[in-house]
């Protein structure tokens, strides 16, 4: 079982997260931000990665630190659970429709963090949450998970659908990428013999 637990404690947030890559999509999430909880539940359910997450943050200021730091914690937990990344399929992609919205997500568990974010919103807020914070979450996740991550909303009108399709796309792509490939279960999927650094 590939699993990891990560704790992050700063003056701004206190977060504990656990992932199980060979999970069933079970989740137990409480960040204090209802919409973020909903997105993380979608991530767990559709990736089949079990996720436990507890966060306490300076929500009296705004949602920025808690949102960003949960991205760091979930990403670091995924990276630790992957270990040396031997045997993984490495790449994953998804094209996710949600009513009028269509979003494409592609990722490489390369241990080279990078985010391409081509997602625009028509409003600055989604409920109480600033829509600009979703990029911050994905940036933090990509950085700490060690993934090259491309997220592109091809079209859409409803901001809720746009965000949710991004998280579901990440879930489906991540599910593919972290799976063990039975044809190379003991090998790192790289001609270098290791993942990270330059191509």
* Tens digit of each residue's pLDDT (9 = 90 or more) over 134-189: 999 999 999 999 999 999 999 999 999 999 999 999 999 999 999 999 888 777 76
3-184 has CATH 3.30.230.40 classification? yes
Smallest CA-to-CA distance from 112 within 171, 20, 184, 192 is with 192
Q: Where are the domains of the chain?
A: 3-184
Mean pLDDT of 47-67: 97
Average pLDDT value for residue range 107-121:
97
Determine contact, residues 147/77, Cβ cutoff 8 Å.
no
Residue 177 belongs to what H/E stretch?
helix 159-178
Pairwise CA distance, residues 199 & 110, whole Å: 9
Predicted local distance difference test score (pLDDT) of residue 192 = 65
If DSSP states are collapsed to H, E and C, what string results for 50-118? EEEEEEEECCCCCCHHHHHHHHHHHHHHHHHHHCCCCCECCEEEEEEEECCEEEEEEEECCCCCEEEEE
Q: Express each pLDDT in 3-29 by its tens digit.
A: 999 999 999 999 999 999 999 999 999
Q: Which residue has the tokens 């028509």?
A: 122
């Amino acid at each position: 079982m590939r699993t990891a637990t990560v704790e992050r404690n700063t003056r701004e947030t206190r977060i504990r997260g656990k992932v199980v890559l060979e999970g069933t999509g079970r989740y137990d999430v409480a960040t204090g931000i209802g919409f973020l909880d909903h997105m993380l539940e979608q991530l767990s359910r559709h990736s089949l990665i079990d996720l436990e997450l507890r966060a306490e943050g300076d929500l009296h200021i705004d949602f920025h630190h808690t949102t960003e730091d949960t991205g760091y914690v979930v990403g670091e937990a995924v990276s630790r659970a992957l270990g040396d990344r031997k045997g993984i399929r490495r790449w994953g992609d998804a094209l996710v429709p949600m009513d009028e919205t269509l979003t494409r997500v592609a990722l490489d568990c390369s241990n080279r963090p990078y985010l391409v974010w081509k997602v625009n919103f028509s409003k600055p807020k989604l409920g109480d949450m600033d829509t600009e914070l979703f990029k911050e979450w994905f940036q933090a996740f990509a950085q700490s998970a060690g993934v090259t991550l491309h997220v592109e909303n091809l079209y859409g009108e409803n901001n809720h659908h746009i965000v949710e399709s991004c998280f579901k796309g990440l879930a489906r792509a991540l599910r593919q990428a972290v799976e063990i490939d039975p044809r190379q279960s003991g090998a790192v999927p790289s001609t270098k013999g290791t993942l990270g650094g330059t191509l």
